[in-house]
């Protein structure tokens, strides 16, 4: 089978780029020829790249949609118009919407982009009915729209007006990583893993850990937290200031410096070893209030996939569709933004560390079922069905 994959790919530093690279390799291992016609393509070069490529080559085009990117969406819409019989499918990483925003606001709303906040945001909100119309038009043309969770599938189908047979749930694939025993339970090692930038709730995690140590002073020295992950300049350094310095200052103010470790810009070859050197991953994500005006984001996280692959449990907020991902005895959830609830959850784990063992066992079972080799087979079945439709 020959497919064209429209997706960001490394060296771009995003979770979707990492996902797409593993996806591509797993399909190729199953004998699929995967073309990547948009690799390295800028927004400005997109029209020329689309016009130059021979779209008669692939039997099917699959896109990875999400992460605020628009190239893949516009490419699919181009193909909808110019090659209406070419089967199109997509994995939607941020349901219930496909892209959430337009590349350019229509006139006269575009004039608001010249002014300071909140005028551009207000204009984007006013333009949302048009954005939603364009998303629905493309979504209904897709042979299949894939989500990583069942909750995401339900929300996407409802918001985009899709028939049941147009949607499917295929869980986030993960690497086949040899299991490793938990380290000794004292000290108990917690891990935040992922890209480090604002909006991930990392401040909540630091404040919660400080509360636990205030309530249970004897746990100091028995409880450690590692912040590990990528710190691309455009993420860590923004107009609001140096986020990493802000985190370090907050840790100092909360008297956490003696129980906090940093592993920044973690090489990909060290990810599994780092996760397995810890007992439990903690993902304190918060929903974006801005996106809440446009809909409900019900995606998941690549970090959760890594936890399963490495056989480690997770404490996570109930943002996105995380509650579904830890509903099988592989972790615990708490209400997003509730620092007291997060502190209570960490405290409960610290006082009953055997929970980490049971969570790890169940995570390993989930990870084995979601290996990329099996995930690729599920996608191949879906692609063949999509190509068989007239």
> Which residue did the predictor score with more confidence, 66 or 292?
66
Strands (E), the chain: 2-6, 33-35, 60-65, 88-92, 144-147, 167-169, 188-193, 223-229, 237-238, 241-242, 260-264, 280-283, 313-317, 331-334
Phi, psi of 3 (to 5 degrees): -130, 155
Please write the tens of the pLDDT for every residue from 334-383: 999 999 999 999 999 999 999 999 999 999 999 999 999 999 999 999 99
Interaxial angle between packed helices 15-29 and 372-388, expressed in degrees from 0 to 180 and rounded to the nearest 10: 80
- Residue 4, beta-bridge partner list: 35, 61
Answer yes or no: are the C-beta atoms of 90 and 148 closer than 8 Å.
no
Query: Looking at the chain, which residues constitute the CATH 3.40.50.2000 domain(s)?
Result: 2-173+372-388, 188-369
CA dihedral 140, 144, 145, 150 (to 10 degrees): 120
pLDDT in tens, 275-293: 999 999 999 999 887 778 8
Residue 262 in tokens: 């940093």
Give the CATH architecture of domain 2-173+372-388. Answer: 3-Layer(aba) Sandwich (3.40)
End-to-end CA distance of the chain, in Å?
Answer: 18
Closest CA to 300 of 162, 193, 149: 149
- pLDDT score, position 232: 57
Q: Looking at residue 237, what is its pLDDT?
A: 42
pLDDT confidence bin for 121, thresholds 50/70/90: confident
Distance (Å, rounded) from C-alpha 383 to C-alpha 62?
9
Structure tokens at 18: 């990492």
Pairing of strands 237-238, 241-242: antiparallel
What DSSP string describes 140-189? HH-SEEEESSHHHHHHHHHHHT--GGGEEE-PPPB------PPPPSSSEE
- Measured torsion, CA atoms of residues 369, 374, 380, 385, in degrees rounded to the nearest 10: -30
Class of domain 188-369: alpha beta
**Omega before 302 cis (within 30°)?**
no
**The pLDDT of residue 230:** 82
How confident is residue 315, by pLDDT bands cut at 50, 70 and 90?
very high
* Whole-number pLDDT of residue 234: 46
Grouping H, G, I as helix, E, B as strand and the rest as coil, residue 263 is: strand
Looking at residue 71, what is its pLDDT? 97
Q: Which residue has tokens 């979770």?
A: 15
Please tell me the predicted confidence (pLDDT) of residue 118: 85
Which tokens is 277 given? 């050197």
Give per-residue pLDDT as tens, 225-251: 999 988 754 444 455 568 999 999 999
Does 3 have pLDDT greater than 60?
yes
260 close to 251: Cβ distance less than 8 angstroms: yes
Token pair of 333 as six digits: 């959830």
Residues 6+ apart with CB under 8 A from 141: 80, 84, 88
- What 361-365 contacts at long range (C-beta under 8 Å, 24+ apart), as own/partner pairs, is 361/311, 362/313, 362/328, 362/329, 362/330, 363/307, 363/308, 363/310, 363/311, 363/312, 363/313, 363/314, 363/330, 363/331, 364/179, 364/308, 364/311
Residue 68: CB atoms within 10 Å: 10
- Residue 239's pLDDT is 52
What's the CA gap between 306 and 303, in Å, rounded? 5
For the beta sheet containing 33-35, the strands, ordered from the edge strand earlier in sequence to the opposite edge, are: 33-35, 2-6, 60-65, 88-92, 144-147, 167-169
Position 221 confidence tier, pLDDT thresholds 50, 70, 90 = very high
């Amino acid at each position: 089978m020959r497919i064209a994959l429209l997706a960001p790919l490394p060296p771009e530093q995003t979770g979707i780029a990492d996902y797409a690279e593993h996806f591509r390799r797993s399909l190729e291992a199953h004998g699929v020829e995967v073309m990547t016609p948009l690799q390295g393509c800028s927004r400005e070069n997109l029209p020329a790249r689309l016009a130059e490529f021979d779209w008669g080559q692939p039997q099917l085009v699959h896109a990875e949609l999400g992460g605020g990117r628009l190239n893949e969406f516009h490419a699919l819409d181009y193909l909808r118009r110019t090659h209406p019989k070419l089967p199109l499918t997509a994995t939607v990483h941020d349901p219930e919407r496909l892209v959430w925003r337009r590349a350019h606001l229509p006139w006269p709303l575009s004039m608001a982009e010249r002014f300071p906040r909140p005028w551009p945001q207000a204009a984007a909100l006013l333009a949302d009915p048009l954005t939603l119309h364009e998303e629905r038009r493309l979504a209904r043309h897709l042979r299949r729209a894939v989500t990583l969770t069942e909750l995401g599938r339900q929300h996407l189908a409802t918001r985009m007006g899709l028939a049941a047979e147009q949607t499917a749930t295929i869980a986030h694939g993960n690497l086949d990583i040899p299991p490793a025993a938990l380290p000794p339970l004292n000290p108990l090692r917690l891990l935040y893993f992922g890209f480090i930038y604002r909006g991930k709730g990392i401040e909540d995690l630091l404040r919660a850990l400080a509360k636990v140590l205030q309530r249970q002073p004897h746990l100091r020295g028995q409880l450690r937290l590692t912040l590990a992950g990528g710190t691309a300049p455009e993420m860590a350094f923004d107009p609001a200031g140096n986020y990493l310095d802000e985190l370090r200052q907050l840790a100092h103010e909360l008297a956490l410096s003696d129980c906090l470790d940093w592993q920044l810009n973690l090489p990909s070859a060290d990810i599994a070893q780092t996760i397995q050197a810890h007992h439990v991953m903690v993902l304190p994500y918060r929903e974006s209030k801005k996106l809440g005006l446009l809909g409900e984001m019900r995606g998941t996280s690549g970090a959760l996939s890594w936890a399963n692959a490495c056989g480690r449990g997770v404490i996570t907020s109930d943002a996105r569709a995380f509650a579904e991902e830890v509903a099988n005895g592989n972790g615990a959830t708490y209400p997003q933004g509730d620092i007291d609830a997060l502190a209570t959850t960490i405290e409960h784990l610290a006082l009953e560390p055997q929970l980490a063992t049971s969570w790890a066992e169940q995570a390993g079972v989930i990870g084995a079922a979601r290996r990329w080799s099996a995930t690729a087979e599920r996608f191949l079945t879906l692609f063949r069905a999509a190509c068989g439709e007239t």
